[in-house]
Amino acid sequence: MEAAFEALIAEGAVLRRKLTVDAGAEAVEVEDEVVGKGVFRWNLHLRGEILARGKGALEVRTARNALRVELPEWAEVRVAEGWRGFSERTIYVYYEVPVEGRGLMGGMIVFTGGAPP
């Protein structure tokens, strides 16, 4: 199953984000196509906490799921953590890519199981 949206993200720059769900593999591919000129950011906002971090992947636990965020090995991934309200941890994962014309960025969210009680 696929879903996509398109938005103007900066003057003269358009983002098209496509989500592809593979229910059998319990994975969601997130693919961004940017048309424009500048440095653009691929990002995800997640609720939960980071369990492990390696080159090109993060292991995350949410209130209901355990998941792995897989990113391109070449990407210089940055992670920030914060709070939603006073009790819910949030994670902001991103990397930046210079684009002149057309650029592709992406990542994969793989559900690895339910979170422990």
CATH number of the domain enclosing 101: 2.70.98.70
First to last CA, the chain: 30
The whole-number pLDDT of residue 62 equals 86
Beta strands in the chain (DSSP E): 2-10, 13-22, 27-47, 49-54, 57-61, 65-70, 78-84, 88-114
DSSP state of 79: E
The whole-number pLDDT of residue 2 equals 94
Tokens of 53: 């971090």
The whole-number pLDDT of residue 83 equals 86
| Strand partners for 50 | 60
The whole-number pLDDT of residue 24 equals 85
Tokens of 98: 């210079």
User: pLDDT tens string for the chain (117 positions)?
Assistant: 999 999 999 889 999 999 999 878 899 999 999 999 999 999 999 988 899 998 889 999 988 889 999 999 999 999 998 888 888 888 999 999 999 999 999 999 999 987 655
Number of domains in the chain: 1
Are the CB atoms for 97 and 16 separated by under 8 Å? no
- Tell the residue number behind the tokens 């500048």, with chain if given: 38
CA distance 75 to 37: 19
Query: Whole-prediction pTM value?
Result: 0.85
The domain in which residue 66 lies consists of 2-114
